Chains A and B, each alone.
Chain A
Amino acid sequence: MIKAVDLFKSFGEQEVLKGITTEFYPGKTNLIIGRSGAGKTVLLKLLVGLLSPTKGQVFYDDVDFFNLNKRQVRTIRMKVGMLFQASALFDSMTVEENIRFPLDMFTTMTRKEKLDRVNYCLERVNLHEVNSKYPSEISGGMQKRVGIARAIVLEPKYLFCDEPNSGLDPKTAILIDELIRSITIENNITTVVNTHDMNSVMGIGDNVILLYDGEIAWRGDRDEVMESDNEILQNFIFASPFLQQLRDTALKK
């Protein structure tokens, strides 16, 4: 479990996060949602330690992350996988080398064992015969899947996904969502997904927090979204008249 306690973050005069306290549960897809500029990415970066909070703490299974020394941070980070918005695959490496990179860096596995593990991860994300391709030679959706394969290659306990659906068509986006959810459940991973995609909220939102102006405006799960009368949530999820009409029809039924 990951716990954020009273997190504040400012950049100069601008206060981006204002006292976020929340928990992210293992075996669940925990979603951080909110409009652009609400502080989602900053919260995610604080959770993984890419940014330091102005005030507050982050606990990984009761271990205070920002009180650890470098060696301890590295130990925690080896249990963390992350999928970046633009996949962040290394351009000069093939798909296989990208996924193998953490294994090369941190394990003493043999070449054969590494290759088996890489192939297993590629299989897990439904990719075949792409080992020798470079990131520029595969589609955006495939890049995301390679990103997921690389994130899970060290069997992480915690998985972070920054806008995993951005730039993807709705069908591929749903596939990525389902992949993230099934991997989370299979391996009992604590997964935190940062998104503003309404399909993700309704599809994989086991535990959803809505950020608004640097604060948590609502929390719940995907079943509670429809019934909530929280105005900020309703304005965010059902932003267009078409979606509002859909919601009204669904509620009438």
Chain B
Amino acid sequence: MFLKNFLFHLGRYFIMMRMALYQPERMSMYYKETMRQMNDIGIGSLVIVGLISIFIGAVTAVQFAYQLDGTLVPTYYIGYIVRDSTIIELAPTITCLVLAGKVGSNIAAEIGGMRQKEHIDAMEIMGVNTAGYLILPKVLAAVVVIPMLVAIAAFISIMGGYVASVPTGLMSNAEFVQGVRAFFVPYNVFMMFVKAVVFAILLTSVSSYQGYYVEGGSIELGKASTNAVVFSDILILLADYVIAVLLTG
């Protein structure tokens, strides 16, 4: 039963994504919608991403300072650890988990609401490819904007580490800067962007799927919104592991 259900949803998800990739009816309309989504996803999420990132960096710095206390590991390693843990893991993963909650639930509710109010039927009857018009701009916008958000999150997180460690006397300014500049591997930044792009596709498409096929009333819409967040989060963590294995193997 579970397997049958899983295969049903998987098949329907891929059919929806295939429909979303059909040639747009009018490029200018899709462009306009993509710009609107970029604004909603990008600008609309800046504050929450910034806020979370500063604490991620701060907590990482404080906790590593605590763990390295009394060891022979040089203090400047804290800056190095904050930088690498942020770039490789925390910035893309935590940012996208948070965005799954904020953007994903919003997408599911928006599309689901349109389904329930017959807006999608109205578009279908006009001849609009609704999967394309409603889903593709969201995915494209996320693929462009979420890596930018992740890059900003990484920068703010490192700043958070600085704020938590230098003014509080955990280490000097020179030590933190030395740590941040030590053993830098540009490939890690590439890995961060790969994660950001994959997570962006997952969270927008899964959330769109939950909204697009919603049936029933407000309770079902609420469930779809919750499912969008839960499944996006699970798939992001699964993809995080797969990407880590593939790109570091």
Contacts and interface: CB of A to CB of B under 8 A. Distances in A.
Nearest to A150: B122
B127 A106 contact: yes
Return the 3 tightest CB-CB contacts between A and B, nearest first: A77-B127, A88-B122, A88-B118
Interface of B: 22, 25-26, 28-29, 117-119, 121-122, 124-129
B18 to A, nearest CB: 11
Given A48-B125, A50-B125, A90-B119, 11 more contacts: A73-B127, A75-B127, A77-B125, A77-B126, A86-B118, A88-B117, A88-B118, A88-B119, A88-B122, A102-B126, A105-B127
Interface residues of A, number: 24
Given A104-B26, A106-B26, A84 B121 contact: yes
A74 interface: yes
B118 A84 contact: yes
Interface in A68-86: 70, 73-75, 77-78, 80-82, 84-86
Nearest to A48: B125
Interface of A: 48, 50, 70, 73-75, 77-78, 80-82, 84-86, 88, 90-91, 101-102, 104-106, 154, 160
Instruction: Find the residue from A50, A77, A88, A106 having the highest chain B CB count within 10 A.
Output: A88
A105 B25 contact: yes
B24 to A, nearest CB: 10
B126 A78 contact: yes
B121 A88 contact: yes
Instruction: Find the residue from A81, A101, A154 having the highest chain B CB count within 10 A.
Output: A101
Contacts of B119: 88, 90
Contacts of B128: 105
Contact of A105 (B29, B117, B121, B125): B29
A104 B29 contact: yes
A106 B25 contact: yes
B25 A82 contact: no
B121 A50 contact: yes
Contacts of A84: 118, 121-122
B117 A86 contact: yes
26 contacts: A50-B121, A50-B125, A70-B22, A75-B127, A77-B124, A77-B125, A77-B126, A77-B127, A78-B126, A78-B127, A80-B125, A81-B125, A82-B122, A84-B118, A84-B121, A86-B118, A88-B117, A88-B119, A91-B117, A101-B126, A104-B28, A105-B25, A105-B29, A106-B26, A106-B127, A154-B126
A74 B128 CA distance: 8
